[in-house]
Amino acid sequence: MSSNAYTQLEKRFARMGALGEAAGMLHWDMAAVMPEGGHESRAEQLATINVIAHEMLTSAETGDLLALAGEAGLDDWQRANLAEMKRVHAHATALSPDLVEAATRAKAACEKTWREARPKGDFKLVLPKLQAVLDLAREGALAKAEKLGLTPYDALMDEFEPGARAADITPIFDDYAAFLPEFLGRVLEHQRAQGPAIQPQGPFSIESQKKLGEKLMAVIGFDFNHGRLDTSLHPFCGGTPDDVRITTRYNEDQFADAMMGVVHETGHAMYERGLPIAWRRQPVGQARGMALHESQSLIIEMQAGRSQAFCRFLSPLLNETYPGNEAAFAPDNLARFYTQVAPGFIRVSADEVTYPAHVILRYRLEQGLISGDLQLADLPGAWNEGMKKLLGLTVTNDREGCLQDIHWFDGAFGYFPCYSLGAMTAAQFFAAAVAAEPGIPDAIERGDFVPLMGWLRTHVHGRASSLPSPEIIRAATGQPLDAGIFRRHLQQRYLGTA
């Protein structure tokens, strides 16, 4: 009877999973190809799909089946699947269908206005719609906090990275904020002593950048029979594990951002593609949290993609694509070019040393927005003040300030810390992979990602959500998350010391 309940649950969750995949595709379409005039209808479609999935998840039948289903007769993965079902059910039952529907509509409307406000740098234009999104996010956070016995902000983070708690993260981030000023000063001094890297000269046509991106995707292992590369305002990895849609944005004056953006999103894509086929559309078959997801993009972009070994592979490819830049594309210069540290306004273009500062800024601000200590009208000012304090930069246009990222405008609060948790996890995975397979750097130098990807498939991708993140990290690396590995990686790469 209880294993029959489990079987029925699998069928129900498969339906929700298929609806989630459909919504994922529609979201890709909205960002990559949809004309502006399609927004209202698309909002109706997404709201309907989301509310149907939400009703299915929160229905009395699902609740009864979850209460009835026992672990007897289930194997490890089925037990983990049942636990995941219960976890997402707890999250979902905290929210009313009306709230879910209102939030979906508000987010779609806000995202649309953000697309207009961002190029204009006009925060006031989007403020009312962002207020609606924030109000609904706070309402949801309170409801979840009560249900899960967490603070409202922890309740929001828990949705993106199960188990993430501000009490654990704040000291790590405060440590980094304390470590950064002196370290950054030494790195900048070290760079000054080396002199500037030679800059490649453009223009770099969009067509050539797209071909280069696709070539690197193939090198990393991306299967174009199961995915695409397209263009959108904010690069992302979407779609489904069997049809991974990654996007980037191009600038003819420089190709590095788009190229490394593609390499980054390909890391996400490889995680999705590596999820176990047998558990498609089931909760246990999904990628673990967002921090673990980011670890997979950053292990490809930062650990592998900016290594000396990869620069030696990249050099002839770039010479072939953009002739006349031989000095800039010499491996040593490339490595310096790709590890240039320069405090800047834009998170997605930030180097790996200053990136955590961008995250810490958002982490602190969004805690204030959710608690109510920070009003939206004060957000640009608070942003600019934080940017000054963390990186010494003066923001003069909100386009380069609080309007730069889509996430808040799409209702994602509690998501940003995952980026830097991911960076730290990536450093730890890479060190463990190289310890287990010492040939990995040489393989990367040959453009062969199979050894690294093989290790990741076994130790991360293939485990999907069968274990909590801390257990995946411990099983893969033999120890819990140790932020010191990330700091040592930075010291080694940027100062040549460890």
* Residue 92 beta carbon to a second copy: minimum distance, rounded to whole angstroms: 18
Closest to 432 (Cα-Cα) out of 476, 467, 497 = 476
Tokens encoding 451: 């050894």
- In the complex with a second copy, which residue's Cβ is closer, 51 or 436? 51
71 is catalytic: no
Tokens encoding 366: 């969004």
Collect all residues with Cβ–Cβ distance below 8 Å to 202 and sequence separation of at least 6: 252, 253, 254, 255, 322
- In the complex with a second copy, which residue's Cβ is closer, 16 or 369? 16
* Residue 143 beta carbon to a second copy: minimum distance, rounded to whole angstroms: 24
- CB crowding 274-306: b at 16 or more within 10 Å, else e: bbbeebbbbbbbbbbbbbbbbbbbbbbbbbbbb
- In the complex with a second copy, which residue's Cβ is closer, 33 or 498? 33
Catalytic pick among 265, 294, 301, 366: 265
* Residue 231 beta carbon to a second copy: minimum distance, rounded to whole angstroms: 13
CB atoms within 10 A of CB 179: 14
Collect all residues with Cβ–Cβ distance below 8 Å to 282 and sequence separation of at least 6: 10, 13, 14, 17, 81, 84
- In the complex with a second copy, which residue's Cβ is closer, 19 or 379? 19
CB atoms within 10 A of CB 194: 9
* Residue 407 beta carbon to a second copy: minimum distance, rounded to whole angstroms: 24
* Residues 226/210, Cβ–Cβ less than 8 Å: no
Cα 454 to chain centroid distance, Å, stands at 21
Q: Alpha helix locations (H) across 253-378? A: 256-274, 290-298, 308-321, 331-338, 355-371
* Residue 45 beta carbon to a second copy: minimum distance, rounded to whole angstroms: 4
Tokens encoding 26: 């529609």
- In the complex with a second copy, which residue's Cβ is closer, 162 or 241? 241
- In the complex with a second copy, which residue's Cβ is closer, 36 or 253? 36
Type of residue found at 153: Y
Type of residue found at 450: V
Which positions touch a second copy (CB under 8 A)?
14-15, 18-19, 21-22, 25-26, 29, 33-38, 40-42, 44-45, 47-49, 52, 223-228, 239-243, 280-281
* Residue 408 beta carbon to a second copy: minimum distance, rounded to whole angstroms: 26
Mapped onto helix, strand or coil, the DSSP state of residue 412 is coil
Is it true that the peptide bond before 203 is cis, omega within 30 degrees of 0?
Answer: yes
Q: Which residues are catalytic?
A: 265
